[in-house]
Amino acid sequence: MTDEKRVFSGMQPTGVAQVGNLIGAFSNWVGMQDDYRTIYCVVDLHAMSSPYDPVELSESRLRLAKMIIAAGVDPERSLLYYQSEVPQHSELYWIIGTLAGVGQLQRMTQYKEKSDKAGQSFGVLAYPVLQAADILIHKAHAVPVGDDQTQHLELTRDLAERFNHRYGDVFPIPERITPEIGARVMSLQEPSMKMSKSDPNSKATVFLTDTTDEIVKKVKSAVTDPGTEVAYDWEQKPGISNLLEIFSHFSGRSIDALVAEYGTGGYGVFKMAVAEAVADGIKPIREAYEGMSDEEVSRVMSDSADRAKVSADVTLTEVREAVGLT
């Protein structure tokens, strides 16, 4: 692992982690530990931007931390901590927030979507500014993001550039890292929508805590497309294309190879093969998750937060000097 290049990524502790989180986030987080100084965060302050239950928030952030470790993120190699336990995030959030335009924030796609559900609160409006602070507090050089987070990363880049232009070069401008496959895993029941750990339809989502039988039932009931040919075509066959991307991840085989083998065999045989690959891939993660104690994970997160504070304070000291708060 190099000290020169830093990667930051975070996830909200809502619901139960699912296959989309594994493919689009956790697997990439694990792989990047070899090439970067990796910093990962359970962003519990973000979860407060919409109405929530305090008891559930406490439980869900611990649940997510356990799952991240079970998926292979090594706290000895990466920083992994709760956002709320590193107060430098919040201070930088205010400082760079003074550079953000209200109109720019109101034009954010997620603001328009979330304000319809959670109301037009300050938390929903300023959500991407806190997200920018999360990235910049460790001077991250790169951020792994899915298609739906591209706009937020662009805002982060804009704020970093405005800060550097006004106060001097403090922040690197973070680049985007997007996986070729699985950047956006879709719902099994509605392939036009992203798979969500908070989806009320349990058949739409494969959770990382699901048993083999549950996984098989969900994949076999996945919405498919007209015809019987297994083909990779997001326009004509979004359901099958989604399953192919999931299958490719868990099997380690290319989509072309999977299409060549299952293209004319019918949906039934194909979906059973997908289900078996997913179940085999999730089993060791589920077992590792179930084998961890809450106390062990809490200690790991606390120790990592202490190390994260040291890293964040280096940046914040430089920021405070730049803006005249010394």
Please give the positions annotated as active site. 114, 194, 197
- Length of the chain in terms of residues written: 326
d(CA 87, CA 246): 37
Q: Tokens 């919040």: give the residue.
A: 90
Rounded alpha-carbon distances, angstroms, from residue 64 to 48, 132, 168, 229, 231:
16, 21, 37, 38, 34
As given in the structure block, the two tokens for residue 64 are 């997510």
Residues forming a β-bridge with 10: 41
d(CA 7, CA 78): 10
Q: Tokens 């959770």: give the residue.
A: 207
What lies within 8 Å, CB to CB, of 70 at 6+ separation is: 208, 285, 286, 288, 289, 292
As given in the structure block, the two tokens for residue 287 are 């077992």
| Contact of 186 with 242, CB cutoff 8 Å | yes
| Contact of 216 with 188, CB cutoff 8 Å | no
Buried b (16+ CB within 10 A) or exposed e, 189-211: bebeebbbbebeeebbbbbbbbe
